[in-house]
């Protein structure tokens, strides 16, 4: 299984919808045969990511995972956050592959 760091954009969204989106992204990644780490989901379960201090803490934690993953996957259906941009730059700097994708599972769910 490919170890991937997932970063999920949820700019200004309803927290309930944002959490469903995060879960859908993790589920989709697993279905694709990946072994995902999703710091934003872990953080959203314990804190409010709209708080800038907690958001920066999540960036630090996510950055610490980059050296041990094969790929950074950015789910961009709900936008690209500053944290996502910073992780993308850091990943490229250390030679980690970066992929942007849409969450097909969530798009299907949201359309219902």
Domain spans in the chain, listed from the N-terminal domain onward: 2-111
3 state SS of 6: strand
Q: Which fold has domain 2-111?
A: Rossmann fold (3.40.50)
Is the pLDDT score of 57 beyond 80?
no
Q: What is the pLDDT of residue 44?
A: 62
Two tokens, residue 14:
């309803």
6 vs 54, more confident: 6
Q: Exposure pattern of 42-77 as b/e (b: 16+ CB <10 Å)?
A: ebbeeeebeeeeebeebbeebbebbeebebbbbbeb
Whole-prediction pTM value? 0.82
Q: What is the DSSP string of 53-104?
A: HHHHHHHHHHHHHGGG-SEEEEE-TT---HHHHHHHHHHHHHT-EEEEE--H
What is the mean pLDDT of the segment spanning 94-98? 97
Q: What is the pLDDT of residue 52?
A: 47
């Amino acid at each position: 299984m490919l170890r991937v760091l997932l970063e999920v954009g949820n700019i200004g969204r309803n927290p309930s919808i944002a959490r469903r989106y995060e879960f859908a992204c993790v589920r989709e990644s697993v279905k694709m045969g990946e072994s995902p780490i999703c710091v934003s989901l872990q953080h959203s379960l314990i804190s409010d990511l709209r708080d800038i201090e907690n958001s920066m803490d999540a960036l630090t934690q996510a950055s610490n995972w980059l050296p041990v993953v094969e790929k950074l996957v950015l789910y961009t259906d709900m936008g690209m956050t500053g944290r996502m941009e910073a992780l993308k730059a850091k990943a490229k700097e250390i030679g980690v592959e970066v992929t942007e994708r849409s969450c097909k599972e969530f798009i299907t769910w949201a359309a219902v």
